[in-house]
Amino acid sequence: MVYLHKLIPKTAQKTTTWPGGTTTELAVFPEGSSYAARNFQWRLSTALVTAAESTFTALPGWHRLLMVLNGSMQLTHAGHHRVTLGPFEQDSFSGSWITHCAGMGQDFNLMLAAGWQGRLQALSLADGERTGAMAATGAGTVTDGATEAFYCYVGAAQVNEITMNTGDFLLLEPVEMLGSAEVPKPAKASQPLVVRIAACHGPAKLIRATINRIESDPRLNKYGDKGTKTASARG
């Protein structure tokens, strides 16, 4: 399987406002879809929450994974659970829930339509440290067919020899997902996908997102309408 490596620098990312602060879109699938039109299958973004209290936009039909990057946020899902999140802790919940947020900071978001699943992971690297991204198929090799994404939150790093600075985003996507047999240039291709990460010029912190289709029943999201209260992903 051929993968594209697409680097989206911080300067090329689009930031918009919402009642609680600002949001920066990192990637949306499929190409040409949009958050505003609600016709996307999955979306990755960061948000800066500047209001002490806010209510999340309702997204019936999507499931959400949210990881706090800095600050502290208490999420209250009306009729469901409540959780307080610190840096690199995360929560999983239905977009149809009424979700109230108390607290300010920055978070990382993955939104998934039915038929998709994903996970978020915080990765910490010391100065000069080199590592391979772990996956179900073994160290260094990513699950075949999955989309992988990396957000450089702190410092600078190289992912498969592509240099990322703070705020940069790298998308590793199977060509088959794009509906094209050709690899556009200058995107980098690898087969099979192996991810190697190295910190540059000091320690680095990256957020990794893994996204893939659910094979069993494309009409169903594995999360259903249930949320998953988690406080994990400390790298």
- Highest mean predicted confidence (pLDDT) among 8-12, 177-181, 219-223: 8-12
**For range 194-207, the mean pLDDT:** 91
Q: 148 and 208 in contact (C-beta within 8 Å)?
A: yes
- Highest mean predicted confidence (pLDDT) among 50-54, 55-59, 72-76, 139-143: 72-76
Domain ranges of the chain: 14-114, 116-213
Q: Which CATH superfamily is domain 116-213 in?
A: Jelly Rolls (2.60.120.10)
Residue 83 confidence (pLDDT) = 98
The model's pTM is 0.84
Residue 36 confidence (pLDDT) = 93
For the segment 201-231, what is each residue's pLDDT rounded down to a tens digit? 899 999 999 999 886 444 444 454 455 545 4
For the segment 11-70, what is each residue's pLDDT rounded down to a tens digit? 999 999 988 899 999 999 998 999 999 999 999 999 999 999 999 989 999 999 999 999
Is residue 143 scored above 60 in pLDDT?
no
Q: Which of 147-161, 164-178, 204-218 has the lowest mean pLDDT?
A: 204-218
Residue 195 confidence (pLDDT) = 84
**Domain 14-114, second-level architecture:** Sandwich (2.60)
Residue 164 confidence (pLDDT) = 97
The answer to whether the 14-114 and 116-213 domains have the same CATH topology is yes
Return the HEC string of the chain: CCEEEEEECHHHCEEEEECCEEEEEEEEECCCCCCCCCCCCEEEEEEEECCCEEECCCCCCEEEEEEEEEECEEEEECCCCEEEECCCCEEEEECCCCEEEECCEEEEEEEEECCEEEEEEEEEECCCCEEECCCCCCCCECCCCCEEEEEEEEEEEEECCEEECCCCEEEEEEHHHHCCCCCCCCCEEECCCECEEEEEEEEEEEEEEEEEECCCCCCCCCCCCCCEECCCCCC
**For range 90-114, the mean pLDDT:** 97
**For range 81-97, the mean pLDDT:** 97
Residue 4 confidence (pLDDT) = 87
Residue 18 confidence (pLDDT) = 86
Is residue 168 scored above 90 in pLDDT?
yes
Is residue 116 scored above 90 in pLDDT?
yes
**Mean of all residue pLDDT scores within the chain:** 84
